[in-house]
Amino acid sequence: MISDELLEIILLTRRSSPIAFKIMSGQVVLLTDAYQPPTMRLVGHLRSAGVATLFEGLHDSEVVMSNSAERKIVTNGDYSNKPFAVLFEVDTVMEAEDLHSVARHAANVYPEIPLIACRRVSEEFAFTSLRPLDQPLLRRLGFKIIVDSPTQLPEVLDDLKTTTQNESVLKADTRQEDEWALGNLLLPKNLTKKELRAAFELVSSLHFASDQKSAALTALAGLGHLMQADRWTVYLNGELEEEKISLEPLAVRGLTQSEQEVASTDWQSALTNEELRFEGKESKAAMEAIKKNETVRRKENNRFVVAVPLISGEKVFGVMEGIREGDAIKNFRKTEIALLNALVVPVAASIANAVRIADAERLSQTDDLTKLHNARFLKQCITIEIRRARRLGQKVSALFLDIDNFKSINDVHGHLVGSHILLEMAGVLRTSVRTTDIVTRYGGDEFVAILPNTDLELAAIVAERIRERLSKHRFTGGQGLKLKITASFGVAVFPEHASSPQQLMAAADAAMYEAKAAQKDCIRFANVSLVIFSEKN
């Protein structure tokens, strides 16, 4: 039974002619791929947010060609009735150029309206672990806010709508000079409207940082709009022992005058992708801030320095340092220090949380025993590789291997020996393929290797290389044993044997069972007729 709301989505996503939209105040515009309507999960969370939503369907050609002249926004002459957000659901395997076209369309039709990217959550896997389109790339493509799950939308939209309303209040009453609090942060008194807005944007942007470096760069970019400094740097303490301090630069923004005067050849090894690569450049104030766990402001070598410790729980894990240099430069004011102390709280939390999120994400796509990628990662990875191969006219090979007589090994030597053999098998596989190949533990004693840009002949060479290395390797099982272990191999290639990820895996699996039914310790290749038969059934 199709709901009226889903029917409306389907109808809107199939429109191809220019249309005029009646925009209501407080509304969100959801741009939808004409060939892939938004997930009901996303629609449900938009409904739970209590936000009126207008669905605009886009065809590929329409997205590229559309501009403000082809589409118009009907606001009854009142531009204040503009939407406060434009939303697009991003699939993990979408191409960057397609997303750029969507962003250009949004910028033309909805100027000055923030564009939000919400990652499409697979119905099969609630947690998407593989992200070929990371946040920095999405931001460069034109998306202002990136949401990793539809569950985050209600809070993000509520904050965004509140921000829009606050800006309207500020514009309506230019005399307002009240003391402001941002979330749980007590900001200093007498902040200007520009400073308040910059502080809000800084804290809001930190919510969408996916890793340590992006969180640090976001913080430094925001600080650059709030207070002047020749260089802002975030250092992390690389030592695990509390009594030792070894600061390692994580992110840097700007250079002091003396640093700019250093010969470019010296700085080629010092600066890479805006990250400091040299040692010994942290200030004494930075070291003192970590030792004393307090903000330090001082003058060092004709430079004014401020250093604020980064704290997570009870641990000081880093420091944020600002430097001003020059004869006419003044020291950091007390009001600036107060603002810095307030903002460093969410900055430190964002950097610390990014580590925990990255660890959780890594564990979700890693097999606990062998530390290879797991089946969850494989299913997403193979989809991406086949889409890329289809676009570039390349081939993708899949090697499916199963250890021969593994049950008897467990029965005779025990499961601890069996587990150690799986570890040793993972080591043999890693050293037998290229760094660009993907090796996964599919489950039990089954392993899968995905070989991008590899035809049947080359895949056969790789499979034979692994088989030969296994025949020469003696497995210890962690107990000094010298066991000879063999495996049965199945090989399938896209597009010869399959036209989809599911067919490729099925073809390789069927070929592996043919090897099992033969003499084992051998390689078999997918049969095209078997693939066709499986499709009919």
Contact 338, 188 (CB under 8 A): yes
Contact 232, 320 (CB under 8 A): yes
Average confidence (pLDDT) over 462-469: 95
Give the up-direction half-sphere exposure of residue 430: CA atoms within 13 A in the CB hemisphere: 11
Give the CA distances from residue 5 to residues 8, 42, 46, 55, 285, in Å, rounded to whole numbers and listed in that order: 5, 12, 12, 10, 59
Q: Which of 162-176, 235-249, 315-329, 380-394 has the highest mean pLDDT?
A: 380-394
pLDDT in tens, 192-203: 778 888 887 888
pLDDT value of residue 1: 43
φ, ψ at 364 (rounded to 5°)? -70, -20
pLDDT value of residue 532: 40
Yes or no: domain 181-364 corresponds to CATH 1.10.20.10: no
Q: Chain-centre distance of CA 141, in angstroms?
A: 14
pLDDT band, residue 269 (cuts 50/70/90): very low
pLDDT in tens, 42-89: 888 888 777 788 888 775 433 333 333 334 443 333 445 578 889 998
CA nearest to 256, candidates 204, 194, 324? 324
Question: Between the CA atoms of 142, 144, 149 and 151, what dihedral angle is there, to the nearest 10 degrees?
Answer: -140
pLDDT value of residue 402: 95
pLDDT band, residue 393 (cuts 50/70/90): very high
Yes or no: domain 4-172 corresponds to CATH 3.40.50.280: yes
pLDDT in tens, 208-251: 776 788 888 888 888 888 888 888 999 988 765 556 677 888 88
- DSSP letter (8 states) at residue 424: H
pLDDT at 13 over 90: no
pLDDT value of residue 23: 43
pLDDT at 266 over 60: no
Span 375-536: which CATH code?
Answer: 3.30.70.270
pLDDT value of residue 79: 42
pLDDT value of residue 527: 84
pLDDT band, residue 256 (cuts 50/70/90): confident
pLDDT value of residue 495: 94
Beta bridge partners of 232: 253, 322
Q: What angle do CA 39, 42, 45 make, to 5 degrees?
A: 150
Beta strands in 326-407 (DSSP E): 396-403
**Greater model confidence, 43 or 164:** 43
Beta bridge partners of 492: 398
Percent of the chain's residues with pLDDT above 70? 73
Instruction: Tell me the domain boundaries of the chain.
Output: 4-172, 181-364, 375-536
Write the burial class of residue 76 (CB in 10 Å: 0-12 exposed, 13-18 middle, 19+ buried). Answer: exposed
pLDDT band, residue 260 (cuts 50/70/90): low
Query: Does an H or E element contain 185, and which?
Result: strand 185-186
pLDDT band, residue 380 (cuts 50/70/90): confident
Beta bridge partners of 31: 56, 88
Residue pointed to by tokens 């403000």: 68
Residue pointed to by tokens 């962690």: 478
C-alpha distance across the termini of the chain, in Å: 27
What is the DSSP annotation of 310-322? EEETTEEEEEEEE
pLDDT band, residue 26 (cuts 50/70/90): low
Mean pLDDT for the chain? 77
pLDDT value of residue 181: 47
pLDDT at 526 over 50: yes
pLDDT in tens, 28-39: 888 887 556 778
Residue 344 to residue 320: CA distance in whole angstroms: 8
Residue 27 to residue 86: CA distance in whole angstroms: 9
pLDDT band, residue 21 (cuts 50/70/90): very low
Residue 319 to residue 330: CA distance in whole angstroms: 22
pLDDT in tens, 341-367: 888 888 888 888 877 776 666 677 888
pLDDT value of residue 84: 86
Average confidence (pLDDT) over 425-438: 93
**Greater model confidence, 388 or 327:** 388
- DSSP letter (8 states) at residue 331: P
Assessment of whether the complete model's pTM goes beyond 0.75: no
Average confidence (pLDDT) over 510-535: 78
**Greater model confidence, 297 or 239:** 297
Average confidence (pLDDT) over 430-434: 93
Helix/strand/coil for 487? strand
